[in-house]
Amino acid sequence: MKTGRHRLLTGPSRKPPIDLRPLPHDGSAVPSKPKKSPAPGPVPRRFETEAIHAGHGYASETGAVTPPIYATSTFAYGNPGGFDYTRSGNPNFRNLDAALAKLEKAAFCTSFASGVSAITAVVSTLRSGDVVHAEENIYGCTYRLFAQVFAKFGVGIEYYDFTQPENFARIAREKPALVWIESPTNPLLKVIDIAAVARVTRSSGVPLLVDNTFASSYLQSPLELGADLSLLSTTKYTNGHSDALGGAVCTNSTDWQGKMIFAQKALGLQPSPFDAWLTLRGAKTEAIRMERHCANALAFARHLERKPGVRFVRHPFLPSHPQHAVASLQMRGGSGMVTADLGFDLDRTQRFLSLLQFFPKAESLGGVESLCCHPATMTHASVPLETRLRVGITDGLVRFSVGIEHIDDLIADLDQAWNRSC
C-alpha cells in the first residue's frame, strides 16, 4: 500500500532505521544504544514565566491546567493537603501565596481579604506602647486605622518625610517597633530610597515594611532592597481587573510568616476562594499590563505637564520628578499612576473631573480601565485638613490611574475636559 510518495513498511520485511547520529570525536564506532540523558534540571524563570506557571498546586489528580475554585468551607480530616477549615487555609489561598512569593522574590507570602486586612495583620503583632515611624504621605485608610482603631489599643505612630535622609537618624536613636513606608506614596507619588532606609533599620534592629501597591511586584522588589515585609493590596495591579478584593504580606522571615498565618486565622482575615482564584488569574498578565500602564502614564504625564497653570505633575519616570534618580534605580518603570496639582479651586477641579469620559471618578486604581480620584474628598478625606495641606493634598490635586486604553484616546479626553472646564 502506498500513501503519497512514502511506502509504509510493515511486518518482518521492515528494515532497521539508519543511524544518523554523528560519529564521536575520537572516531570510534557509534554505540549501539544511546546513553541515558540525565534528569532535566530546573530552568530559570523570569517574572513573566513565574506569573503563568507558579501557583498550580493540587492539580496532580486531575491535570487541570487552570486550578479550579475550591468553594468549600470545610474539609474531611486526613486529606493529603492537610486542610481542615477554609479560614485556616484553602487550596486557592495556597496557590496564590505560592505565586505571589515567586513574584515578590520572597520565601513566604500570606494572602488576606483586602489590603486593609493585610495592614491589620501586621499591626496586630504590635503591643500597647509600641511606636511606629511612618512616611508622612501615606494611604488614607492606613492613617485612619492608626488614628481611630489602633490608637485605642495603645499603638502610637509618628510621621516623617522619609525622602529627607536627616529623618533616618530618628530610627537609630528612637528604635521604633516598626518603620512603615510606601514607595511610590499615595497620592503624591514620592519615591523613598528603600535601600537607604533599610540600611538604617537593619543596623538598628528595626523591621521595615514597604507598601508596594503603587509600584507592583513587576516594577519593584522591596525585599531585595532590604525590606523585611512587602505589603500589597492585590486588588490593584496584581489582580488588575477591578473585580476582586485582596491583600498580601510577603517576607523572607519565618518569624514574620508565622505571625501572618496566625493573624489570618485568628482574626478571620482570609480572602474568599473565588477572590483568590480571580487574583491568581489576574497576576498571569501583570507583566504585560504593567508595561502598557507605564508607557501610557508617562505619555499622559508629559502631555499634562504642558498645560498652562498646572502647578506640578508627578510620575516617577518624569525627569521633573524630585526623586526621579531614585526611581530609575529601584523601579523597572514608573507605574500607571499620575498625580497633578492642576492649580484649580475645588469647584473647577470637580467640574474638570466630571467632564472626563474615560476616567470615571472612583476610588481604587490599577485596573485595566482608567480612573480619576480627588484625594481631598475621597481617599484622604479622613485625614485632617491641616495635615492634608501640610503634605500637599490640596483641593486642586487629582490622582489619575492611567489604564491600558489607547493613549491617543486618553489624551484627547484630557484635552476636551480641560478645554470645557476653562
Q: What tens digit of pLDDT does each residue of 23-53 get?
A: 444 444 444 555 566 666 778 899 999 999 9
pLDDT tens across 106-159, in order? 999 999 999 999 999 999 999 999 999 999 999 999 999 999 999 999 999 999
Last residue within a domain, chosen from 284, 314, 329: 284
Last residue within a domain, chosen from 284, 305, 335: 284
- At 59, the pLDDT band (50, 70, 90 cuts) reads confident
Q: Could you tell me if 160 and 216 lie in one domain?
A: yes
The three grid cell numbers given for residue 336, joined into one nine-digit string:
500607571
Q: Could you tell me if 274 and 336 lie in one domain?
A: no
Last residue within a domain, chosen from 284, 304, 335: 284
Give the total number of structural domains in the chain.
2
pLDDT at 17 over 60: no
| Percent of the chain predicted with pLDDT > 70 | 91
Of 39-48, 354-363, 376-385, give the range with the top mean pLDDT. Answer: 354-363
State how far the Cα of 235 lies from the Cα of 243, in Å rounded to an integer: 8
The catalytic position among 94, 102, 190, 236 is 236
Q: Could you tell me if 71 and 172 lie in one domain?
A: yes
Q: Could you tell me if 87 and 208 lie in one domain?
A: yes
The arithmetic mean of pLDDT across residues 178-204, rounded, is: 98
Q: Could you tell me if 88 and 219 lie in one domain?
A: yes
Question: Nearest 10 degrees: CA dihedral of 246, 249, 254, 258?
Answer: -50
Tell me which H or E stretch contains 250.
Answer: strand 247-251
State how far the Cα of 317 lies from the Cα of 331, in Å rounded to an integer: 9
The catalytic position among 84, 87, 351, 413 is 87
Q: Could you tell me if 325 and 246 lie in one domain?
A: no
The three grid cell numbers given for residue 404, joined into one nine-digit string:
491600558
The catalytic position among 211, 228, 275, 395 is 211
- Is there a catalytic annotation at residue 202? no
pLDDT at 212 over 80: yes
Q: Could you tell me if 85 and 231 lie in one domain?
A: yes
Q: Could you tell me if 80 and 228 lie in one domain?
A: yes
Output the domain CATH number for residue 417: 3.90.1150.10
Query: Residue 99's domain spans which residues?
Result: 65-284
Nearest to 249 by CA among 116, 338, 126, 371: 116
Nearest to 67 by CA among 42, 100, 93: 93
The catalytic position among 94, 102, 139, 399 is 139
Contact in structure between 107 and 252 (CB atoms under 8 Å):
yes
Quote the pLDDT of residue 21: 42
pLDDT tens across 70-96, in order? 999 999 999 999 999 999 999 999 999
pLDDT at 11 over 80: no
3-state secondary structure 12-60: HHCCCCCCCCCCCCCCCCCCCCCCCCCCCCCCCCCHHHHHHHCCCCCCC
Nearest to 220 by CA among 332, 317, 139, 316: 332
Q: Could you tell me if 203 and 325 lie in one domain?
A: no
Q: What is the pTM of this model?
A: 0.89
- Is there a catalytic annotation at residue 211? yes
- Is there a catalytic annotation at residue 139? yes
Amino acid at position 57, single letter: G
- At 382, the pLDDT band (50, 70, 90 cuts) reads confident
Domain assignment present for residue 49? The answer is: no
The arithmetic mean of pLDDT across residues 235-251, rounded, is: 98
